[in-house]
Structure 1
Amino acid sequence: MTENRQTRRRTDSLVAAYDGVICDLDGVVYRGPTAVPGAVETVNEVAADQVGVAFATNNASRPPDEVAAHLRELGVDGHGWSVVTSSQAAAAYLAQRLRTHAPVLAVGGPGVSKALTEVGLVPLRVRDLTDTRVEAVVQGLGVDVTWRELAEVGYLAQRGVTWVATNLDLFLPTADGPAPGNGALVAAVRAATSAVPHVVGKPGPALFDLARAGLGTSRERTIACGDRLDTDIAGATAAGLDSLLVLSGASRLQDLAFATGPQRPTYVAADLSGLRRSGLRLDAPPPDPAPLAPTGVPRVPAGGDQSGRLHAVVTAAWTALDAGLAVSADRETWQAVEQQLGLAGVPVAVA
């Protein structure tokens, strides 16, 4: 770390221990067209403190520049950050294995084709195939993906052509509710074939490794932030990174309380602004964890700030579960705990 970084940072903030942040987008920075309260300001402050920020998304449909344009519209400053997509992770994987200018079938949105072009491969659509023998196929999300394209993916995969899936997210959040994600389309192909794709998106480590390479940071000095235990947190664990779960999106407090193994984050906060506050590691529980109430959930401590109270509740639930004790799985009871912790009213995202 440079001396300039050391002197500019707030030493009492969670992010002060890191040189780079890998940040999820939907449910963390924005929900569709709207910014999550406090997220944009936090990103700008973190970048101003010379901490590198890479936004890493499983959504392969849009090229990074389109995602970046959306972030700028929301108020993210135009410096100190980058966007990395699962399409780029797929392209990077193939670039290490194929010759330059190798033809690759691109199924999905424009982000898939652009990523392949950027690494020197030649993306082709189904209509372009004719007599061309492609050397791989990349399947990513696209709103105009057709039956013919899915069938061609299956034909090629069955013949032994390398099949790369950008991610396996089953659904995608939309203004009207959850819609089929790339994982649902991949599942359709798998249902008709015996082929299995190589997956590069979360919860695998490849997308995190690509983002960290762009940041130029070590594993020990990089933290990943996300709102989903099964993709963001599990992926960070797979990549050997510390992680921050924010409760502004898909995973709720009850989900975190019952998390096990690789889905247990290093830190938890109500939202991304937790990066700018002091952080308590969840793998270092207090000597006297909060006891369980008669309702079967941890008691919320009366004193302390939100971060400390949240830490006490989560570590108490983990301690009880690890000891074989019964913890309530009643959703309404856990929602009441969220209200006590000041988490009430947070819109729940679906991905």
Structure 2
Amino acid sequence: MIGQTTATPVGHEPLITRYRGLICDLDGVVYRGAAAVPDAVETLNRLTADGVPVVFATNNASRSPEDVGDHLRGLGIASQGWSVVTSSQAAAAHLAHHLDRGTRVCAVGGPGIARALTEAGLTPVSVAELGDDQVEAVVQGLGFDVTWRELAAVGYLVQAGATWVATNLDPTLPTPHGNAPGNGVLVAAVQAAAGTSPHVVGKPRAALLDLARSRLGTSRPETLVCGDRLDTDIEGAHAAGLDSLFVLSGASRLRDLVFAARSQRPTYIAADLAGLLTPGLPLSSTASGDHTDSALDAALRADSTADYGELLQTVVATAWAALDNGRAISDDPDLWGEIERKLGLVPQLEPRKIT
């Protein structure tokens, strides 16, 4: 069974054997737009078949967990062994802890917000339904049909004393056409008008990951977070006290990782989710930074016989050590892009066979 610890020396067994549960991001990790990321479906089905529970945790508040689940099953994810938690649910859980059951809460955003509030025992109210009755709180999340009137209403409610909860502050939303404005842009508009800030529950705050871990029923040392964004997934894992695997199948790139702040440095790195099934040592900035140039040269000279995973870990660890010791290293995007290409880290169009 994959999720159980074996006697195999550390560094030789599949990475996931060190953990009893996985919290996994979605966009850029499991799928990109409507299509699955190569190797993701096969890897996740292997994990759940071997008894490793998975919770998919997403900042996207516009869809319900049921809608997300339908998307995942449509990609070929097996129907058992996993669940979905959203930032809408984290917002509802936060308010349910502080408000009486049945309390009216204004919901601004996609349908997932009202659904989560109802499930938490609260009463969602749209802006059109507000009337003259007061609400105790307002939840603001991404919605594709959010209007100026709704944003203005959030500001009015906040200024009148309502508790303001934002599902997330993501500045962008990936789409097939490029990045679109995310919920963070809409929240910033209200914040500028209201002169105050919301309570935020989505990544990189800990609340969403704490909710996901409660679903798994695992302790912090038993839980691994996997994501493709350093500023949300990996920083969120740090905030929640969890180890993390950063995958290069989505938004953040190798250059971003090398120059990331300490709060955004992951425990492990892999090309994609298939890295969970391969050996992996924790990245460490304790490696000597004296050999950074040679590590970069080795990566640039890599051929098909090289151990790309080991080279990748060496490059990142030595670069971090150099930076931490005050040494300068090149931040040339072309250099880091070429290293990605040499190590096979450019997102693939076809899956590899997982053995």
State TM-score, norm by structure 1: 0.93
Report the equivalent of 2:187.
186
Determine the C-alpha separation between the residues in 2 that align with 1:189 and 1:288: 45
The CA deviation at 1:6 is 3.2
Report the equivalent of 2:352.
none
CA contact 1:56–1:84 (8 Å) conserved in 2: yes
CA contact 1:233–1:263 (8 Å) conserved in 2: yes
Paired residue total: 343
Post-superposition CA distance 1:149-174 (Å, at most 9, x none): 10010001112210000000011111
Letter in 1 for 2:311: R
Report the equivalent of 2:353.
none
Post-superposition CA distance 1:121-155 (Å, at most 9, x none): 00000111112210100000000111111001000
Post-superposition CA distance 1:4-46 (Å, at most 9, x none): 9538999810000101100000000000100000001111111
Q: Does 1:221 align with 2:222?
A: yes
- Large movers: runs of 4+ above 6 Å: 7-11
The CA deviation at 1:183 is 0.5
Letter in 1 for 2:121: G
Q: Aligned pair in 2 of structure 1 residues 213, 326: CA closer, same or farther (>3 Å)?
A: same
Report the equivalent of 2:330.
328
CA contact 1:223–1:241 (8 Å) conserved in 2: yes
CA contact 2:205–2:239 (8 Å) conserved in 1: yes
Q: What is the SS of the residue equivalent to 1:178?
A: strand
Q: Aligned pair in 2 of structure 1 residues 5, 187: CA closer, same or farther (>3 Å)?
A: closer
- How do 1:289-328 and structure 2 match up within 5 A? 290-292=291-293, 297=296, 299-300=298-299, 304-328=306-330
Q: Aligned pair in 2 of structure 1 residues 37, 189: CA closer, same or farther (>3 Å)?
A: same
Letter in 2 for 1:318: W
The CA deviation at 1:271 is 0.4
Q: What is the SS of the residue equivalent to 2:17?
A: helix
Determine the C-alpha separation between the residues in 2 that align with 1:317 and 1:329: 11
Q: Aligned pair in 2 of structure 1 residues 254, 145: CA closer, same or farther (>3 Å)?
A: same
Q: What is the SS of the residue equivalent to 1:138?
A: strand
Q: Aligned pair in 2 of structure 1 residues 299, 239: CA closer, same or farther (>3 Å)?
A: same
Q: 1:343 aligns with which of 305, 329, 345?
A: 345
Letter in 2 for 1:321: L
The CA deviation at 1:181 is 0.8
Determine the C-alpha separation between the residues in 1 that align with 2:160 and 2:34: 42
Determine the C-alpha separation between the residues in 2 that align with 1:242 and 1:289: 27
CA contact 1:138–1:164 (8 Å) conserved in 2: yes
Report the equivalent of 2:149.
148
Which segment is superposed worse, 331-340 or 117-126? 331-340
Letter in 1 for 2:190: V
Determine the C-alpha separation between the residues in 1 that align with 2:2 and 2:240: 28
- How do 1:1-351 and structure 2 match up within 5 A? 6=4, 12-283=13-284, 290-292=291-293, 297=296, 299-300=298-299, 304-346=306-348
In structure 2, stretches of 5+ residues that fail to align are: 350-355
In structure 1, stretches of 5+ residues that fail to align are: none
Determine the C-alpha separation between the residues in 1 that align with 2:178 and 2:248: 19
Post-superposition CA distance 1:89-137 (Å, at most 9, x none): 0000000000000000000000000000001000000111112210100
Which segment is superposed worse, 281-290 or 27-36? 281-290
Post-superposition CA distance 1:288-313 (Å, at most 9, x none): 874315xx956428575221110000
Letter in 2 for 1:262: S
Letter in 1 for 2:103: A
CA contact 1:285–1:312 (8 Å) conserved in 2: no
Q: Aligned pair in 2 of structure 1 residues 323, 80: CA closer, same or farther (>3 Å)?
A: same
